[in-house]
Structure 1
Amino acid sequence: MSIAGEVGWKTIKIKGTHQESVSEVIATEFPLTLMLDGYEFATIVCSPGELEDLVVGFLASEGVIRTVAEIKDIQVDLYTGFAHIALHKSVQPDQFDHSSRLIGSCCGKSRQFYFKNDARVAKTITSRLEVTVHQCMQLMKKLMDSSPEFKRTGGVHNASLATSTEVLLTRSDIGRHNALDKIFGAMLRDKISAKEKLVVFSGRISSEVLLKTSKMGIGIILSKSAVTDLAVKLADELGITVIGFVRDDRMNIYTRPDRVHGIHPHLQTDL
C-alpha cells in the first residue's frame, strides 16, 4: 500500500490531435479505521496526511470529545491503516448510532449524517469578525495558491483557517469533510481560538459542512463552490455568514451580509 499523498501512474494523455504516454501524478485514497477504546468506531477514506489532526477533528465533530484533553493517547499506524484512540473516560460506540460505519471520501450519500448527535455540539455563532469584499477575494486566492497538492493532482479539497487578512493554516484531503476535520483537529491540538477567525474552503457548502463550521465556533465561511438550500437555512438560524462562488472578482453572499463591508446599503436588507 502506498502511504504517500500522491503517486505516479502511467497515463495516456490526449489534447486535440496530440497523444502521449506520461507518468501522471494522482491523489492517494487511504482507508483509516478508528479504533475507539478497542471498538471499531468508523473507517474514514482520506488522504494520508495530518492524520492525528483528522482523528481529533472527526471525534470532536461527531460529539465524542469536546477538547483534546479528553484523549489519553492516539497511535496512528500507516502501514496497517488503523488509528487507536484511548479516552480518559470510555464511551460505547452505540451512544453515537454509527458504530463501524464507512465515511466515504466522495461528496455524496456515503457519508451518513446524524442530526441528533449534531444537536449536542452545534451552536449559534455570535462572532463580531468583519471582512471586506476585497479581503474575501484575496483570501480565496491565498487558499488556492497555498495548495501544491491541488496543483499537482487536481484531486483534493482545501480548507484554511484565516483572519480577515491572513491564512493561518491550510489542510488538504480527497474528502472535503476531512479537510475541515483536519482544520478543527489542528485548532484543538494547538489551542487556536476560533475568535476573529473564518474558514476559507474549496468545496461545496452542504448542511454537514455548515454544521461543522458551527461546531468549530466559526462565524464566516467562504467557498469557491456552490451552497445547498439546507446549508443556508441552517446558517441563517445559527448566525453564520455564508459566501459562495468566490472566484476572481465575484462572489455570492447568502446569509448575514452585515459582516461584509463594501456592500451597497440598499442590498443589506434584501437577505
Structure 2
Amino acid sequence: MIKSSTVKRDLQYLEISSDGARHTSKGSVAIEHTLTIFVNGNPWVTLFCSPSDLTELALGFLESEGVLKDMGEVEDIVERQGNVWLKLKGQVQSPAHAITSGGGRSSLRELDLDPVPLSERVKATRILELARRFEDSSEVWKVTHGVHSAALSDTREILVFREDLGRHNAVDKVFGHCLMKGSSPRGLFLFLSGRISSEMVLKAARRKVPLIASLASPTDKALELAQRLNITVVGSARDERMRVYTVPRRIL
C-alpha cells in the first residue's frame, strides 16, 4: 500500500463560514504528477496522475490501448525521474499526446470484444460487504477528497486496491498490477469509486471482468455496452442498498 504522504501535500488554508467567521485551518490536497510513458525510446503518451504505482499505470494503460498483451512483449521497463520507459518487441507507432487526470480516451471498440461468459454468480449481500470494505480502504480520499479508487475482488476479499487523481488511471493501475504479477483478472469483480463510463466497461470487457460495482452511477452508454457485452453493472452500492442495471441474473 502506498503511503498517503507520497500522494498528498499538507498545507494551510483560510476557512470562511456562512456567518462570516474566518480562521486558518490545516488540511491536505492530492498531488498531481505528469507522467510521460516512453515506448522504444519515443514519448508515447503523457498522463496527469497521482505520483504512485507509475509502472503499473503505464502497463495497464498500454494494455487498455491494445498496445501490450502480456509481459512477454516487454524486453525492459524502467521507472526513472517520474517517467516510465518501456522497450517492447517490435515496432510501436503512435503520436505523442496528452491526457488529463480524468483520462477518458480509449482506442478500444466494442466490436473488437466478445461478450463475457455468464459463469460467475455472487450474493447481493457479498457485493455490499465488499463495497463497504472498498470504501473504507480509501485512505488518501479520506484526507484529500481529491482522488478516485479502483479494486479487484474474487468475491472473498479485495485482492488489489489503487487510488489516483483519475478514474481511468486507478483502473489501469489495478490491471497493470495483474499484468506485472502474471495473474489474470478474468472472472474477478471490479469496484469503482466514481462514475461508470463506457470506457470503464470496455476496459473490463477486454479482461473478461463480469461485474462492475460502483459507489456512484453509470452513464447510458456504459449500460448499452454492458448489456451487449454481458457485463453486470451495479451502481450506488452503499448504505446497505445497490442498483443493478444490467445482467441481474449474475446476482443471487
* TM score, norm. by length of structure 2: 0.92
Structure 1 gap ranges (5+): 94-98, 262-271
Match of 2:72 among 47, 69, 72: 69
The question of whether the paired residues in 1 share the 8 Å contact of 2:77 and 2:84 is answered with: yes
Q: Deviations over 1:105-133 (max 9, x none)?
A: 136xxx434345x654x442115111111
Which whole-Å CA distance do the structure 2 matches of 1:233 and 1:156 have between them? 27
Which whole-Å CA distance do the structure 2 matches of 1:194 and 1:35 have between them? 25
Q: Which residue of 2 aligns with 1:38?
A: 41
Match of 2:209 among 197, 218, 233: 218
Q: Which residue of 2 aligns with 1:264?
A: none
Q: Which residue of 2 aligns with 1:181?
A: 172
Which whole-Å CA distance do the structure 2 matches of 1:7 and 1:158 have between them? 18
**What is the CA distance between 1:16 and its match in structure 2?**
4.8
Structure 2 gap ranges (5+): none
Structure 2 letter corresponding to 1:106: G
Alignment map for 1:17-56 (pairs within 5 Å) = 17=19, 18-56=21-59
Q: CA RMSD in A?
A: 1.8
Which whole-Å CA distance do the structure 1 matches of 2:140 and 2:114 have between them? 33
**What is the CA distance between 1:4 and its match in structure 2?**
3.0
The question of whether the paired residues in 2 share the 8 Å contact of 1:143 and 1:167 is answered with: yes
Alignment map for 1:50-199 (pairs within 5 Å) = 50-78=53-81, 81-93=82-94, 99-106=95-102, 111-115=104-108, 119-120=111-112, 122-199=113-190
The question of whether the paired residues in 2 share the 8 Å contact of 1:53 and 1:182 is answered with: yes
SS of residue in 2 equivalent to 1:141: helix
Q: 1:82 to 1:193 in 2, by over 3 A?
A: closer
Q: Deviations over 1:212-240 (max 9, x none)?
A: 11112200010011111111111111110
Q: Deviations over 1:140-173 (max 9, x none)?
A: 1101111111111111111111011311110000
Q: 1:162 to 1:47 in 2, by over 3 A?
A: same
Aligned residue pairs total 247
**What is the CA distance between 1:8 and its match in structure 2?**
1.4
Identity %: 34
* TM score, norm. by length of structure 1: 0.86
Structure 1 stretches of 4+ with a deviation exceeding 4 A read 15-18
